[in-house]
Amino acid sequence: MKAIVSVFARDSRGITAYVTSLLAERDINILDISQTLMQEYFAMIMLVDLEACPLPFHELAEWLKRKGEERALDIHIQRSDIFEAMHRI
Amino acid sequence: MSYLMNSSEILQTIEMIDQQHLDVRTVTMGISLLDCADPSVERCAEKIYEKLCRRAERLVPVCVGIEQEFGIPIVNKRVSVTPVSIVAASCLDENYTPIAKALDRAAGTLGINFIGGFSALAQKGFTESDLRLVRSLPEALTETALVCGSVNIGSTKAGINMDAVRLMGQIIRDTADRDPMGCAKLVVFCNAVEDNPFMAGAFHGVGEPECVINVGVSGPGVVAHALKNCRGERIDVVAETIKRTAFKITRMGQLVAQEASRRLQVPFGVVDLSLAPTPAVGDSVAEILELIGLERCGTHGTTAALALLNDAVKKGGIMASSHVGGLSGAFIPVSEDAGMIRAAEEGALTMDKLEAMTCVCSVGLDMIAVPGDTPAETLSAIIADEAAIGMINSKTTAARLIPAVGKAIGDRVDFGGLLGSAPVIPLHTGSAKEFISRGGRIPAPIHSLRN
């Protein structure tokens, strides 16, 4: 299953390293990555493959959210279908 | 497949959900109860409870799973059933409240938000069972928490059943005297649709399959946000912007509908292309009308702006879904829309303007608090006016009126949760008693003869 991981934060120091190591810890493969600054906010979007991830989706989502909160990051994971459905005919 | 190119689209979707209240308003499972008939009302109720608990057992967990995986809230999980007046027609008992209680119990067991279908279709006349159901409504709706009822009293094909109009005025009155909240769960329809996923008017029509999944989308906040970038543009740009936004909203509803259908192994019925507001600030249909250029919703120009909105929502949504149905359009429930509440409180939005707006919105007079001492025949006359608009214009119209017992014009009534709150608005005081007491049937209009 492919999913989109989105990360929002006020500051960008060390975030990419922190989040990618979280994903590696759970055997999640990053297929694509994009970073952007929106006003003072840092936004990172990753397309990931969950094929090898041992955790059920909702547990993974909760774990990422919790790990994000430890560093004042807002981390969401959603199946990529929703973005395709909304923006692609 | 590269998402690098599309991060702005991804951010746009996330922003719609996080900041603009984008959600799937309801996933409604329609379930046929035609096989639950029994001469004993208690046995019929038992069969209904058992069937609902079996059929809809996985509805809530499946919806929660979809919410978690797709990151899109599904605000309501609901069930609609075959109109109970049909299911209970062979019951020998006069009072159908035990069936309403079984529906309520099933809703509690399943963990759903509402269950609809304590209903009767009486556009041309009452069966004995229709009458028993209608007379059970005041008790059934006030002694249950999650049961919604509806009565269809007219159609373009059949005309308007004025006996039913008279009776429903009295039933609303009686329900309000027991508990005005009961009236928030009762809709009187003209041209009711069989696949509507929205409450309080959802029921599972007899032309529907055994079990079906219908989805209602929402998103006034997303449309309002898009219109903020259209200031000063010509009205064509406004219409186009609404269409494009409605397309995106509906695509998401279609995805959720397909996914729910697949996981539950229940056929997908329709997506209802609706702008359903909530009392939350920024999730208001009235705000959209004001962004189109009205100082306050309800002023001159409101009907035209609403007509444009309603039409553009349908045009944008139609290509986004394989099957569109239900009520599809913009809802204007007064108590459930922060902008409508404000406009009504300021006196900008009156009963007469609301009636005009129902000529072009998706349904009708919805969640309107009227003075607590409104006589039954005045309620009937409002229903008749609303039904006439539906009958002549071949559209669904409805009345969900709440006589606020013990309250006067301007007082605020709180319904709680998504039902919101509303000020009591003034009605005309001239009597329609003689008109309503005539009874009979208003003949179907000439354009009903289309064969």
Query: Which candidate from A47, A76, A85 shows the least CB-CB separation from B71?
Result: A76
Whether B70 sits inside 8 A of A81 (CB atoms) is yes
Judge whether A55 is closer than 8 Å to chain B, CB to CB: no
Task: Establish whether this prediction's ipTM goes over 0.95.
Answer: no
Whether B254 sits inside 8 A of A85 (CB atoms) is yes
List the one residue out of B192, B195, B94, B178 whose CA is nearest residue B144: B178
Whether A34 sits inside 8 A of B251 (CB atoms) is no
Least confident range of A80-89, B72-81, B342-351? A80-89
Mean per-residue pLDDT, B208-230: 95
Q: Helices (DSSP H) in B80-144: which residue ranges?
A: 84-87, 97-110, 128-142
Q: Least CA distance to A79: which residue of chain B? A: B70
Residue B3 predicted with pLDDT over 50: no
Residue B281 predicted with pLDDT over 90: no
Query: Which candidate from A32, A78, A83 shows the least CB-CB separation from B4?
Result: A32
Q: Tell me the pLDDT tens digit for each residue of B72-103.
A: 999 999 999 999 999 999 999 999 999 999 99
Neighbours of A13 (CB within 10 A): 9
According to DSSP, residue B199 is labeled: S
Structural domains present in chain A = 2-87 (3.30.70.260)
pLDDT at B418: 83
Cis-peptide into B192, omega within 30 deg: no
Residues in chain B whose Cβ is within 8 Å of chain A = 1-4, 6-7, 9-11, 13-14, 65, 68-72, 248, 251-252, 254-255
Instruction: Tell me the torsion sign for CA atoms B411, B359, B76, B402.
Output: positive
Whether B3 sits inside 8 A of A80 (CB atoms) is yes
List the one residue out of B349, B426, B430, B432 whose CA is nearest residue B384: B432
Q: Tell me the pLDDT tens digit for each residue of B121-149.
A: 999 999 999 999 999 999 999 999 999 99
Mean pLDDT of chain B: 95
| More confident position, B162 or B219 | B162
Q: How far is Cα B213 from Cα B79, in angstroms, rounded to an integer?
A: 9
Q: How far is Cα B384 from Cα B166, in angstroms, rounded to an integer?
A: 9
**Contact residues, chain A, for B65 at CB < 8 Å:** 58
Å between A43 CA and nearest CA of chain B: 9
Mean per-residue pLDDT, B14-33: 94
Question: For the residues of B360-429, what is the DSSP string, one character each?
Answer: TSSS-EEEEEEETT--HHHHHHHHHHHHHHHHHHTS-EEEEEEEETT--TT-EEE--GGG-EEE------
Q: Tell me the pLDDT tens digit for each residue of B304-315.
A: 999 999 999 999
Residue B62 predicted with pLDDT over 80: yes
Whether A83 sits inside 8 A of B1 (CB atoms) is no
Question: Which of residues 5 through 44 in chain A touch B, CB cutoff 8 A?
Answer: 6, 32-34, 36, 38, 43
**Contact residues, chain B, for A45 at CB < 8 Å:** 3, 7, 10-11
Instruction: Enter the pTM of the model.
Output: 0.94
**CA–CA distances in Å: residue A36 to residues B5, B6, B12:** 12, 12, 13
Mean per-residue pLDDT, B354-371: 96
Whether B65 sits inside 8 A of A58 (CB atoms) is yes
Whether B13 sits inside 8 A of A57 (CB atoms) is no
Judge whether A80 is closer than 8 Å to chain B, CB to CB: yes
Q: How far is Cα B388 from Cα B35, in angstroms, rounded to an integer?
A: 35
Å between A53 CA and nearest CA of chain B: 15
pLDDT at B1: 46
The residue to which tokens 């989706």 are assigned:
A57
Neighbours of B123 (CB within 10 A): 25
Q: pLDDT confidence of B5, banded at 50, 70, 90?
A: low
Alpha carbon of residue B450 to chain centroid: 28
Whether A81 sits inside 8 A of B255 (CB atoms) is yes
pLDDT at B19: 87
Question: For the residues of B101-117, what is the DSSP string, one character each?
Answer: HHHHHHHHHHT-SEEEE
Å between A47 CA and nearest CA of chain B: 7
pLDDT at A13: 85
* Contact predicate B260/B330, CB 8 Å: no
Residue B430 predicted with pLDDT over 90: yes
Q: What percent of chain B has pLDDT above 70?
A: 99
Q: Tell me the pLDDT tens digit for each residue of A4-37.
A: 999 999 877 899 999 999 999 999 999 999 988 8
Q: pLDDT confidence of A88, banded at 50, 70, 90?
A: confident
